[in-house]
Amino acid sequence: MAKLHHVGIYVSDLEASIEFYQDLFEFPVAREFTSGDAKIKMLDLGTGMLELVQRPGSPGTPPDGNWSHLAISESKFDSVLKKLEKRSIVTRLVTMDNGNRLCFFNDPDGHVIEIMDFKS
């Protein structure tokens, strides 16, 4: 069976993005390297990796295309909501009919992040 290895996103400030994801989710840096002029850090999400790529002059979006969002199942949902509020980050909360909660927000480069709190 195929499994997700990683999702890669372009960022404008690698260190700011690392701080953002580590503060909210405590994802550890699993690997860091360069590829040409790009600086890359891989964060361990537990079930796959988030690859953050900073390329000089990059606006934080991929040169050819874009992706919709990154969804993260979060057991500390309320704790992350408090951290988002403390950072004054605009969120969109959704409570589904079955009680599951979703929260959508943007990372420092505008990528849409979804956190999920599944009751069932």
Q: 55-89: buried (b, 16+ CB within 10 Å) or exposed (e) per residue?
A: beebebbeeeeeeeebebebeebeebbeebeeeeb
State the residue for tokens 């979703």. 102
6-57+68-117: which CATH architecture? Roll (3.10)
Q: Which helix (H) or strand (E) holds 79?
A: helix 77-86
The per-residue pLDDT for range 60-71, each reduced to its tens digit, is: 555 555 556 788
Range 86-111 average pLDDT:
90
Task: Give the pLDDT score at 22.
Answer: 95
- Is the pTM for the entire model greater than 0.85? no
Please determine, for residue 75, whether its predicted confidence score (pLDDT) is greater than 70. Answer: yes
Give residue limits of the domains in the chain: 6-57+68-117
Share of the chain above pLDDT 90, in %: 45
